[in-house]
Amino acid sequence: MHISLLAGKRKIVFTRDIAVGTRKITLWVDNTKNILGSFDWEDYTGAELGIYEKNCDVFKEDFDDREFLLLTGKLSVEFDDIELNIGRMIIDTTCKRDELLLEYDLKRWGESTFTRIFEGYLNQENYIYNPFTKNVQVEFAPKSDLLNKSACFISGVWNNLLGASYVWADNPIVHVQTLIEDIYKIIDPDIVVEFEQNWTYKVEIVPGPIIVEKDFTELYVRLRGLFTDIYGYPNTYITYMQVLKAIAFDLGCFTGLISQKIAVFKIYLDRTTTPQTVSTVDIIKDKYERKIVQNEIKLLTLYATDMVNATAGTPTGLEQDEITLNIYSGVYRISYLGDWYSVSYMKNPILSYLVNEEFKLSYWERYYLIPEISFKDESEFLGTTFTIFDDITIEGITYRVLELTRDYNNDKTSIVGRPI
């Protein structure tokens, strides 16, 4: 069916059996921009519109541990557009491209219901349409970039995007987990954040001393301390994205959206979970490569808004040998008998209590100041049950995963990881 009049709202479903089960893709295309009237969603299958999906079962999740960018899930899709429908729908001026949504559901063999694997919006920078070959190539991802476009200050005034309970004049002490959730809700109010963090925070109250210890679920933070320097002026974190990244690194975590409504905030080092081992028979041997791709890091500097907070290693005078990472200083609080106290010491399952800055330095130097930081190994193996949150052991080497690609159509996973 060739659609001559593009105006309308169309829900297009593509269902297919693949290697791991039955896959269903739902595409929501709204061509009612600047058009008067009310429209209901019309249901179509891809075949009814002459649209046939291909190369659309490969998911990629990745992040850069040197830049500490947010984790992002992505899905690329290719269509044979026999009737020249989907290509015209997307490129037409009536298309609400910011709202063009793809949902990917999977029902593995032996299961009775579909599970939502991914949900993302059109990445307009990665859209290719060729009407002569009747081919459309698109990419879908969560709207993480909204945080990059959300300024912390406008004309010197704090831009409150977190909600009415965050009153700048009061400088409230706010719950860290709730704050992280509210930052993500700038992107989508329905986002759920999955947390995993295993540090313990301690204060010593004098006289006594009285020892108070709390875990991450009872950690609080001074609101203004996240956005200003010690003098009360806006700090170097210009956007909410930068604030979120700084909180994550400061608490030993990585964070990001793996789907439009699923965010993660998880510990990066010293995980208590057991590494997942890939069976030797599942390894695709000719896809395994050990690569030295980056220089070793000689100097690690932790920088707290307007000053150097701690350093480890040896300076060489060469920029490529150094890494500077942002942290916070003196902003975290825990409560005792109704009063707030500044966190003084931290520990985790591996490191004993240290003063805040010393602990963070000890935590991160065990990752960045080792020779293995130069390596990025690549491997491919059978199966799609691994995640980027797993440490994965292959032939006796355990990897911290930086990139993970799942190919559901061929039941394969490939990773790029650093040996740890």
Q: Which tens digit of pLDDT belongs to each residue from 284-306?
A: 887 888 777 777 889 988 877 66
Q: Is residue 354 part of a domain?
A: no
332-336 and 220-222: which strand pairing? antiparallel
In the DSSP assignment, the letter for residue 57 is -
In which residue are the tokens 């979120």 written?
244
Q: What's the rounded Cα separation, in Å, for the pair 183 and 240?
A: 7
With CA atoms as reference, report the closest residue to 89 among 44, 120, 54: 44
First and final C-alpha spacing in the chain? 55
Q: Which tokens belong to 153?
A: 């200050």
Q: How many C-beta atoms surround the C-beta of residue 53 within 10 A?
A: 20
383-412 as b/e: b if 16+ CB within 10 A: ebebebbbbbebeeeebbbbbbbbbbbebb
297 DSSP β-pair partners? none
Q: Is residue 282 part of a domain?
A: no
Q: What's the rounded Cα separation, in Å, for the pair 192 and 41?
A: 27
299-304 and 322-327: which strand pairing? parallel
Q: Output the pTM of the full model.
A: 0.89
DSSP string, 263-277: EEEEE-SS--SPPEE
Position 254 scores a pLDDT of 87
DSSP string, 69-119: PPEEEEEEEEEEETTS-HHHHHHSTT--GGG-EEEEEEEETT-SS-EEEEE
397-407 and 8-18: which strand pairing? unpaired
Q: What's the rounded Cα separation, in Å, for the pair 72 and 244?
A: 14
Distances (CA, A) of 42 to 11, 30, 31, 69, 259: 6, 10, 12, 39, 25
Q: What's the rounded Cα separation, in Å, for the pair 268 and 11?
A: 39
Name the percent of the chain lying above pLDDT 70.
97
| Contact status, residue 93 vs residue 71, Cβ threshold 8 Å | no
Position 1 scores a pLDDT of 65
| Series of mean pLDDT values for 10-residue runs along the chain (420 residues) | 79 94 95 91 94 88 73 87 92 93 94 93 89 92 90 94 94 96 95 95 90 96 90 85 90 90 91 86 84 82 74 86 83 94 94 92 89 85 88 89 91 90
Q: Is residue 239 part of a domain?
A: no
DSSP string, 151-176: BSEETTEE---S-TT--GGG--EEEH
Domain, as residue range, for 21: 8-140
Q: Is residue 131 part of a domain?
A: yes
Q: Which residues, at least 6 apart from 229, have a Cβ–Cβ distance to it below 8 Å?
A: 235, 305, 306
Position 70 scores a pLDDT of 66
Phi-psi category of residue 265: left, alpha or beta, with phi > 0 → left and psi -120 to 50 → alpha: beta
Q: Is residue 383 part of a domain?
A: no
Q: Is residue 415 part of a domain?
A: no
Q: What's the rounded Cα separation, in Å, for the pair 161 and 400?
A: 34
Q: H/E element holding 368?
A: helix 356-368
Q: What's the rounded Cα separation, in Å, for the pair 27 and 24?
A: 10
Q: Which residues, at least 6 apart from 401, have a Cβ–Cβ distance to it below 8 Å?
A: 388, 390, 391, 392, 415, 416, 417
How many domains is the chain partitioned into structurally?
1
With CA atoms as reference, report the closest residue to 60 among 245, 278, 288, 256: 256
Q: Is residue 60 part of a domain?
A: yes
Q: What's the rounded Cα separation, in Å, for the pair 251 and 257?
A: 18
Q: Is residue 99 part of a domain?
A: yes
